[in-house]
Amino acid sequence: MAGEGGRRRERESGARRSERVGVAFSPAELEVVRAAAVREGMSAAGWVGQQAMAVAQDVLVPVSADRADVLRELVKARAGLREVAVRLDALGPAATTGAGLADAVADARAAVVRVDAATLAVMRERRART
């Protein structure tokens, strides 16, 4: 499948791979796989093989579609925490009181609560898979 313009998955040993696994996709699913492979500069077959090995070796942990909202919340909370850190840094070490500091601390607390909740949800999802 390297003829699709991608590169072959690198072999971890010098041995030839003789075992094959058939994978079936709907046309829409195959387009998603091909797009992912193109982004990585790989053939679709090489990309699928690489992803399968990463999951099998616990290098990559798949997350169910219903957990995508949790991941979005983690990303949002992480960005919020970075913003709060920048705001706190801008206040300087001498600023110990005032509305700016109180607002930054309140925002930090809210962001931490969101990150905690989302992290626990991801951990429950991971635990259910093991």
pLDDT digits (tens, 9 = 90+) for 74-122: 778 878 887 887 877 777 666 656 677 778 778 888 888 888 787 777 7
Low-confidence winner among 1-10, 49-58, 77-86, 120-129 (lowest mean pLDDT): 1-10
Same domain, 10 and 50: yes
Number of structural domains (the chain) is 2
Same domain, 76 and 39: no
Phi, psi angle pair for 116, to nearest 5°: -60, -50
CB 96 within 8 A of CB 48: no
Within the chain, how many helices (H) and strands (E) appear? Answer: 4, 0
Same domain, 50 and 98: no
Same domain, 52 and 70: no
pLDDT for position 111: 84
Same domain, 125 and 69: yes
Instruction: Report d(CA 23, CA 91) in Å as an integer.
Output: 56
Task: Give the range of the structural domain holding residue 113, as residue numbers without chain letter.
Answer: 65-129
Same domain, 120 and 72: yes
Closest CA to 100 of 110, 89, 111: 89
- Output the furthest CA–CA distance in the chain (Å, rounded): 69
**Predicted confidence band of residue 34 (pLDDT cuts 50, 70, 90):** very high
Same domain, 88 and 113: yes
